[in-house]
Chains A and B, each alone.
Chain A
Amino acid sequence: MNTVKTDNLINSLNGKIAGLTISPGASGVGSSAKVVLRGSRSANGSNQPLYVIDGVPILNTGNANAQPTGTFGGTTDGGDGISNLNPEDIESITVLEGASAAALYGSQAQNGVLLITTKKGKVGKAQVDFSSSFTANNTAYRPKFQNQYGQTPGTVSGDVTSWGPSISNSEDNLKKFFRTGTNLTNAINFSSGSELAQTYFSYANTHATGIEPGNKLDRNNFNLRETGSFLNNKLTVDGSVNYVNQKIQNAPQLGIYSNPLISLYAFPRGVDIQPYKTQYEFPDNVGVDRQNWITHGGDFHQDNPWWIINREPNYAKRNRMLLNGSVKYTFNNYLNIQVRGNVDRISDDFEQDIYAGSNNLYNSLETGNLKLSNQTLTQKYGDVLVNFTVPLKNSDFKINGLLGASVNDQQLQGYSFGGDLQTPDYFTAGNIIVSRAGTSSSNTTLNSIASLVNSFALPPNHSQTQAIFANADFSYKNWAYLTVTGRKDWSSNLSFTNNDSYVYPSAGLSVILSQALELPKAINYAKVRLSFAQVGNTVPPYLTNIQNTQDGSGALVFNTAGYNGTLKPEKTNSFELGADLRFLNDKLNFTFTYYKTNTLNQYIPVSYSAPTLISTGYVNAGNVQNTGLEFTLGYDVFKSSNFSWNTTVNASTNKNKIIDVDSKDGIDKFFLTNDGNSYQSELVKGGSYGDIYAPTLLRDDKGRVVLGGDGTAEHPYAPTPSAAYNLVGNPNPKFQLGWSNSFSYKKLSLNLLVDGKFGGKVMSITQGLLDATGVSEESGQARAQGGVKVNGVNAAGQAVTTVDAQTWYKTIGQRGGITGEYMYSATVVRLREASLGYTWSIANSGIKSVKLSVVGRNILYFYKKAPFDPEIAMSTGNTLSGIDVFNQPATRNLGLNLNVSF
């Protein structure tokens, strides 16, 4: 995992674990990643797994900025929790898939668990490790532009397009914007230990710059872990302190508004953008004229990209303190008791300064706008575990068990301020024209840009879960194992109902056939496993207690949400069957798992018809099913002292089906987004999670494109959208594969990882707008051949074979156009990682080993049909998967690693 460093350590797991789908974020350095194990199951809740460090769960949240939920984007990603950690501190990561982790970790583990074990001092060894890594990152692809036609003549207010006459010059304006990003990480760790005490200390510093100017990240990680044994090794104490300090500057904004990429890409062809880079503002001008740009306003408001970076900057700071402690007392060989606790405290500050001269949309008084937020999220966790072994006379049987109780308490404290400024460009909280929490707005789109005045305390979302649980492991002769667990949770989120506690069991059986039976010699190890598990899960806070609120002027705003029955916990039932096999003297290993999970009684906020006078209905409903297969196959092709070669393949397939939404209420659809403009993401009975619905070309029953207009210059032929939105695709891959090869020859080592995601379809709204503005290569080709070739039919029933390129692309590509025509195959196969290293030792110098490697990440796409990397997610939320709205391109990272052990 430490072979190639990235700014978010979770991305380095991509392609290495069957069933784990990682979608890196699009928000530059430090962006959150979306991680899904075995398919999405929750309509409204999180689908991300639980991260557990040394047995104790941690927080994985971003800052007060919500993740985008629509094409307008709006706020910037502050980075998730897992990205804060120093990969050097990690000893191992185990993925616990399936709900069988639930007994120990509870409902949060419903989506799986990433169990992280951190390093600690080793007995009798003192070691210092130093590592330094540097990568240079460049865009892995760029949009394809045409260079034959230039700017549309005449001053058309608003959007500037490229439907003009032929030109002969070409300008590479992207080169003037994108830069080579870098990531420099230096880490040092000290570890030492004796019989009685072991110490581990580490420090890491990361400095990363993004490919968009102004975007950078600085992070410092400190970690100290102390383990000690007392009372003749009966008492073990383990404590650690982890402190992270991180600053991210100018995380790029996603979506259509305030995103430099939209202005950059749509800039007219043949015009040099350099003057606008050299001088992005006229400081003496007032209002929008302060910004030096080719246009102002427009249907997708274009601003000077360098203005956006310099005069609409954002800053995110994070301070995280993770304190972990555990005390274990061993009574005897049969009994020990362990008490553990942690406090995870994340403090986030966010600021965005919008200078006067920025677009009026987020600067309505033309004095500038300031957005500030500050939040501290604290999780306190404590548990007591009693591990026991039942002493049995018959040594064939063994019974181990554990009884435990835990408390998990999460609470937020914070404030958000935002609004137009009194004195222009003076960015301090006291200068904001303040109004309290606002709800009245003339346009909900504006709300998503968050330019409206909002000053409020963030809701504490205080959520406490208390649990008791028990595990019993029965084993027979070391080849048959039966595990039975039970857990009961009490959740504060379900208070005010009669259902505030819920019970869930699980059972698992595994048989090591190679021990039980005489298997052919070729089979060294064979294990079969089977498990059933049920996990209960609570609902989000405050839902069971409907409260009114006040608007910006203190007026009473009624909360018109309602229920259909009382809320109750949701439930996931999962079944798993698998085998682990090793052959040929452990040279060949093979694991296989089949699983089926059903998530029932999900909390779903339902939009009833407006005349019901219920704004949102809180119901428990749904049956989301995931079935799939995972397998890994590893083979040590060669293994000798000089040369070895191991090859491993991991593959998985997941099939998601929405068996039910809420048919008892007559509801068969749930909208995850309702953009109103371009597409919808819907959960539909019989469909699949992530289904994208969009308008498509209206065709007649012979499949010909129905054209409006009459072919004259005033009313040229134009395609028409279908009346209803149709299912156009689902971005989730049908099949994922990772293939890694490790070679070592004497002191050289070579690692290669190829991975592929197969199937699925994604949508590029970017491509639509590039076509509509006439900058895309396709729109140029269409013009060169006299128009777009179609199999069309006009209102009179006559066949039409060519449609004017501008009319065609404007109609389908424009915002709110026929986005169903912009679906692409999501299949992508790439060389994910490669590293070539040389290890040597320097005798008599105290340096035990030195390793120097050349590394690369996302080096080559073997196959990619979509104009963007289909893996990149605009949002880690449940929406916007597979939709590209001017997301930052994926990067190709190449660099060097140095590891020294003393």
Chain B
Amino acid sequence: MKNNSIAILKQGKNSFAGISILMASLMLPGCTKNFEKYNTNPSALTVEQSRSIASTAIGPLEQAIYSNYQIAQNLSADAYAGYMMSPTDFRGGNNNLKYALVDGWNVTGFNDQYKLVMAPVSKIAQAGARTLNPDLWAVALLIQVEAMDRVTDRFGPIPYTKAGTSLISIPYDDQATVYQTFFKQIDTAATNLQTYIAANPGKAPIGTGDLIYNGVYTQWLKFANSLRLRLAMRIVKADPATAKTQAEKAMSAPGGLLAAPGDDAAVAQSGSRVNDLYTVTIAYGGDNHLNAAIGSYLGGFNDPRGPIYVTPATKGTPYTGIRLGADVTKGDYKSLASYNCLTTFTQKAPQLIMTAAEMWFLKAEAAVRGWTGAGVAKDNYEKGINISMEQWGVAIGDYLNDATSKQAAYVDPLNAANNADPISTITVKWDEAAANEVKLERIITQKWLAIFPDGQEAWADYRRTGYPKLYPNLSNLSGGTIDTKIQIRRIPYPSTEYNTNSAAVNDAVKVLGGPDNGGTRLWWDVNKGNF
């Protein structure tokens, strides 16, 4: 018995010895030397690859300005500017177009610009671009200012100077600070560009990575000056001193402003991207149609740009659009006028963010205000119209001499309850003897017709000046927060901010100067006369 046990133990001992060695080898840390290689995605870029194509990062930033176009801009700014109205009865009518503001739509107008513009720009800064590539940095800054201006003009105070500094709470800046920062950033950009152009004339290192100007810095310099002029005029009611200073600086800056259609800033469609207006008008089956307002002015003035902008209605007069807030279930509203996506806003048409025409009208307004370097109001006004006609490739004819044509009456062939008499008596021909207010209505109305389809800028102008005169919303489902006569002044802050940045957004509402709803005016939207 004992022998057997010993025999077993001996056998066992040998086996155990063998097993122990085996186990010891198994206990060694695993061969993990290839682990980092496995955990690297070969379809993604390495750090070196990123560096070598850094200049191509500009294109995506530019395209991001129109991110989520339909719900971020088209179904809000474009509609409130009197450019578009939808025949689609979204959400059974409970949507932005009837002042029932849809948080799920409007949130994209806030979040996307931080995610797709400010975040990559901060990465560009982290890579050292400020000092290593000041020219690239200038372009990135200008795109950021352009993008974030659109955000602050929608919502009001926004996080800007402190963005990216915390994961928990990002404080908001009041709008005055935001604009101040914009001007400083334009200063930096303009200086960087001037320095680079002087030292490297004719060089365009970003090249085709830039979907707006193909990397031509002289054009970017004009853009910088023009952006300054646009922002300066925006704040003329809230801070007239800064407005004058910045505008005069812009009008006298080296490099000049956008002056001719060749200077227009438009984002080209790269790769597979399709023009957003085409998408919402055609691909989405007609979600985007013409607003009664612009239809009535184009028709009333017999505007040569009409056929360029509009696909005519098949019922009623050719430029019959749809009233904002109309009940579109009452008839086939898709038969009314729409955007011309056949020849103008085609699939590959670039998308405008700033035009030379706009600059001429800004100078006209600056001249009316008596600012230095603004030239003569009439000349600028007429030049603006001429440049716009040239931009769209139409003959101006006798348009500038027309002192009789006015906004046409609006007739809705599907529902007479929507009919409206004209609310404006402004004509095209410049009248030097007119009061400043009339001159301003004339300038802004023509500017509005010229900068079509940029609803974002047009809505900002409408809120600032009250022009052009727009029809009020036919439905007002805002629960009393928006006055139908005054019309909507801003978009409320998105729920994502209340959910994830609540302390800061609640502080921002205090700075807003009114409740967080569509009726509260922004800082530059001062409730007083234009002069």
Asked if A pairs with B, the answer is yes
Candidates B54, B123, B501; contact of A560 at CB < 8 Å: B123
Decide if B254 is an interface residue (CB 8 Å cutoff).
no
Candidates A331, A405, A459, A665; contact of B15 at CB < 8 Å: A331
Q: How far is the CA of A419 from the CA of B159 in the complex (A)?
A: 39
Cβ contact within 8 Å between B91 and A549: no
Decide if B317 is an interface residue (CB 8 Å cutoff).
no
Q: How far is the CA of A560 from the CA of B159 in the complex (A)?
A: 18
List of B residues within 8 angstroms of A386 by Cβ? 19, 22-23
Cβ contact within 8 Å between A405 and B332: no
Candidates A403, A439, A456; contact of B23 at CB < 8 Å: A403
Decide if B531 is an interface residue (CB 8 Å cutoff).
no
Candidates B39, B54, B107, B347; contact of A556 at CB < 8 Å: B54
Cβ contact within 8 Å between A610 and B53: no
Decide if A495 is an interface residue (CB 8 Å cutoff).
yes
Q: How far is the CA of A544 from the CA of B39 in the complex (A)?
A: 8
Q: How far is the CA of A331 from the CA of B11 in the complex (A)?
A: 10
Residue in chain B with minimal CB distance to A814: B92
Decide if B401 is an interface residue (CB 8 Å cutoff).
no
Residue in chain A with minimal CB distance to B334: A157
Cβ contact within 8 Å between B56 and A555: yes
Given A552-B273, A677-B104, A610 contacting B115 (CB threshold 8 A)? yes
Given A156-B331, A547-B46, A500 contacting B283 (CB threshold 8 A)? no
Decide if A845 is an interface residue (CB 8 Å cutoff).
no
Least Cβ distance of B416 to chain A in Å? 12
A-B pair number, CB within 8 angstroms? 296
Cβ contact within 8 Å between B114 and A613: yes
Q: How far is the CA of A714 from the CA of B43 in the complex (A)?
A: 57
List of A residues within 8 angstroms of B118 by Cβ? 611, 613
> 1/0 per residue A345-377: CB within 8 Å of B?
000000000000001110011000000000000
B13-66 residues at the A interface, CB under 8 angstroms: 15, 19, 22-23, 26-27, 29-32, 34-36, 38-46, 50, 53-54, 56-60, 63-64, 66
Cβ contact within 8 Å between B94 and A495: no
Cβ contact within 8 Å between B90 and A462: no
Least Cβ distance of A469 to chain B in Å? 10
List of A residues within 8 angstroms of B38 by Cβ? 462-464, 492, 495, 541
Decide if A438 is an interface residue (CB 8 Å cutoff).
yes
List of B residues within 8 angstroms of A276 by Cβ? none
Cβ contact within 8 Å between A335 and B274: no
Decide if A721 is an interface residue (CB 8 Å cutoff).
yes
Candidates B32, B90, B114; contact of A611 at CB < 8 Å: B114
Cβ contact within 8 Å between B282 and A360: yes
B70-95 residues at the A interface, CB under 8 angstroms: 70-71, 87-94
> 1/0 per residue A383-400: CB within 8 Å of B?
010101001010000000
Cβ contact within 8 Å between A452 and B272: yes
Least Cβ distance of A242 to chain B in Å? 27
List of B residues within 8 angstroms of A444 by Cβ? 68
Cβ contact within 8 Å between A715 and B35: no
Cβ contact within 8 Å between B26 and A405: yes
Candidates A158, A391, A442; contact of B276 at CB < 8 Å: A442
| Count of chain B residues with a beta carbon within 8 Å of a chain A beta carbon | 108
Cβ contact within 8 Å between B56 and A612: no
Interface-located stretch among A53-61, A204-212, A294-302, A742-750? A294-302
**Of residues B15, B44, B120, which shows the largest number of chain A Cβ atoms within 10 Å of its Cβ?**
B44
Interface-located stretch among B166-174, B258-266, B384-392? B166-174
Q: How far is the CA of A343 from the CA of B119 in the complex (A)?
A: 43
Interface-located stretch among B405-413, B426-434, B443-451, B492-500? B492-500
Residue in chain B with minimal CB distance to A453: B272
List of A residues within 8 angstroms of B163 by Cβ? 611-613
Least Cβ distance of B384 to chain A in Å? 29
Residue in chain A with minimal CB distance to B163: A611
Decide if A65 is an interface residue (CB 8 Å cutoff).
no
Least Cβ distance of A554 to chain B in Å? 6
Decide if B484 is an interface residue (CB 8 Å cutoff).
no
Decide if B247 is an interface residue (CB 8 Å cutoff).
no
Q: How far is the CA of A608 from the CA of B44 in the complex (A)?
A: 24
List of A residues within 8 angstroms of B11 by Cβ? 332
> 1/0 per residue B96-118: CB within 8 Å of A?
00000010110100111011001
Decide if B185 is an interface residue (CB 8 Å cutoff).
no
Residue in chain B with minimal CB distance to A152: B329
Decide if A797 is an interface residue (CB 8 Å cutoff).
no
Candidates A156, A443, A456, A467; contact of B68 at CB < 8 Å: A443
Q: How far is the CA of A614 from the CA of B120 in the complex (A)?
A: 10
Given A490-B30, A611-B159, A495 contacting B332 (CB threshold 8 A)? no
Least Cβ distance of A388 to chain B in Å? 7
Decide if A278 is an interface residue (CB 8 Å cutoff).
no
Q: How far is the CA of A610 from the CA of B170 in the complex (A)?
A: 9
> 1/0 per residue B322-349: CB within 8 Å of A?
0000010101111100000000000100
Least Cβ distance of B464 to chain A in Å? 26
Q: How far is the CA of A842 from the CA of B11 in the complex (A)?
A: 55
Decide if A422 is an interface residue (CB 8 Å cutoff).
no
Q: How far is the CA of A463 from the CA of B22 in the complex (A)?
A: 26
Cβ contact within 8 Å between B39 and A545: yes
Q: How far is the CA of A787 from the CA of B50 in the complex (A)?
A: 63
Decide if B394 is an interface residue (CB 8 Å cutoff).
no
Q: How far is the CA of A365 from the CA of B279 in the complex (A)?
A: 11
Cβ contact within 8 Å between A610 and B114: yes
> 1/0 per residue A649-689: CB within 8 Å of B?
00000000000000001110100000111000000000000
Q: How far is the CA of A335 from the CA of B16 in the complex (A)?
A: 9
Decide if A542 is an interface residue (CB 8 Å cutoff).
yes
Least Cβ distance of B9 to chain A in Å? 7
Cβ contact within 8 Å between A547 and B104: no
Decide if A310 is an interface residue (CB 8 Å cutoff).
no
Least Cβ distance of B44 to chain A in Å? 4
Cβ contact within 8 Å between A297 and B285: yes
Q: How far is the CA of A384 from the CA of B46 in the complex (A)?
A: 37
List of B residues within 8 angstroms of A361 by Cβ? 283-285
> 1/0 per residue B502-528: CB within 8 Å of A?
001000000000000000000000000
Q: How far is the CA of A493 from the CA of B32 in the complex (A)?
A: 11
Decide if A617 is an interface residue (CB 8 Å cutoff).
yes
Cβ contact within 8 Å between B19 and A542: no
Cβ contact within 8 Å between A443 and B70: yes
Q: How far is the CA of A554 from the CA of B52 in the complex (A)?
A: 12
Decide if A13 is an interface residue (CB 8 Å cutoff).
no
Least Cβ distance of A50 to chain B in Å? 21
List of B residues within 8 angstroms of A435 by Cβ? 271-272
Cβ contact within 8 Å between B39 and A456: no
Least Cβ distance of A266 to chain B in Å? 15
**Of residues B32, B111, B479, which shows the largest number of chain A Cβ atoms within 10 Å of its Cβ?**
B32
Cβ contact within 8 Å between B60 and A557: yes
Least Cβ distance of B161 to chain A in Å? 11
Residue in chain B with minimal CB distance to A297: B285
Cβ contact within 8 Å between B285 and A334: no
Q: How far is the CA of A457 from the CA of B41 in the complex (A)?
A: 11
B302-333 residues at the A interface, CB under 8 angstroms: 327, 329, 331-333
Candidates B5, B110, B272, B475; contact of A438 at CB < 8 Å: B272
List of A residues within 8 angstroms of B209 by Cβ? 555
Cβ contact within 8 Å between A721 and B94: yes
Decide if A816 is an interface residue (CB 8 Å cutoff).
yes
Cβ contact within 8 Å between A442 and B50: no
Candidates A157, A388, A724, A815; contact of B91 at CB < 8 Å: A815
Q: How far is the CA of A162 from the CA of B344 in the complex (A)?
A: 38
Residue in chain A with minimal CB distance to B54: A556
Decide if B371 is an interface residue (CB 8 Å cutoff).
no
Least Cβ distance of B31 to chain A in Å? 7
Cβ contact within 8 Å between A555 and B60: yes
**Of residues B60, B164, B169, B417, which shows the largest number of chain A Cβ atoms within 10 Å of its Cβ?**
B60
User: Would you list the 5 A-B pairs with minimal beta carbon distance, nearest first?
Assistant: A297-B285, A552-B271, A676-B104, A466-B30, A609-B501
Sample of 5 further A-B pairs with CB below 8 A, known A442-B69, A607-B496, A817-B91: A439-B60, A466-B32, A492-B34, A609-B501, A611-B170
- 9 example contacts (A-B, Cβ-Cβ < 8 A) are as follows A158-B334, A391-B8, A403-B19, A463-B39, A542-B41, A552-B273, A611-B163, A615-B119, A676-B104
